[in-house]
Homo-oligomer: A and B are copies of this chain.
Amino acid sequence: MRAVVFKSPYEVNVEQVEDPKIGSPRDALLRVTTSGICGSDLHMYEGRTGASPGIIFGHEIMGIIEEVGDGVVGLKPGDRVVLPFNVACGFCFNCVRGFTSACLTVNPHGVSGGYGYVDMGPYRGGQAEQVLVPFADFNCLKLPGSEEDELEDDFVLLSDIFPTGYHGAVLAGVFPGSTVAVFGAGPVGLMAAYSASLMGAGEIYVVDFIPERLEKARQIGAIPIDFSKGDPVGRIMELRMKSGLKPGEEKMPGVLCGVDAVGYQARDTKNPGKENPSQVLEDLARLVNPTGSIGIVGVYFTKDPRGVDDPARKGNFLLPWGRFFEKGIAIGMGQTPVKKYNAILRDLIVDGRAKPSFVISHRIPLSKVPEAYRKFDERTEGHTKVVIKPKMH
Chain A interface residues toward B at CB < 8 A: 24-26, 69-71, 73-74, 89-94, 96-99, 101-102, 104-105, 108, 111-112, 137-138, 141-144, 175-178, 198-200, 202-203, 244, 246-252, 264, 281, 290-291, 296, 299-304, 311, 314-335, 339-340, 343-348, 350-351, 353
Contact = CB atoms under 8 A, between A and B. Distances in A.
Copies in the complex: 4
Contact of A316 (B97, B311, B321): B321
Nearest to A94: B291
Given A200-B200, A315-B323, A325-B333, 17 more contacts: A73-B89, A89-B137, A90-B90, A90-B137, A92-B248, A93-B252, A93-B343, A96-B98, A99-B290, A102-B290, A177-B347, A202-B347, A246-B343, A248-B343, A300-B326, A315-B325, A324-B334
A247 B351 contact: no
Contacts of A350: 202, 244, 246
Secondary structure type dominating chain A contacts: loop
B90 A91 contact: yes
Given A71-B70, A74-B91, A175-B344, A317 B326 contact: no
A138 B70 contact: no
Nearest to A350: B246
Given A203-B351, A331-B330, A316 B318 contact: yes
A245 to B, nearest CB: 9
Given A177-B347, A325-B299, A331-B331, A71 B69 contact: yes
B200 A291 contact: no
A137 B198 CA distance: 33
Contacts of A345: 176-177
A340 to B, nearest CB: 8
A328 B25 CA distance: 31
B320 A315 contact: yes
Q: Which 5 A-B pairs have the closest CB atoms?
A: A315-B322, A328-B334, A71-B71, A142-B247, A177-B344
Nearest to A109: B251
Given A99-B328, A291-B99, A328-B101, A249 B93 contact: yes
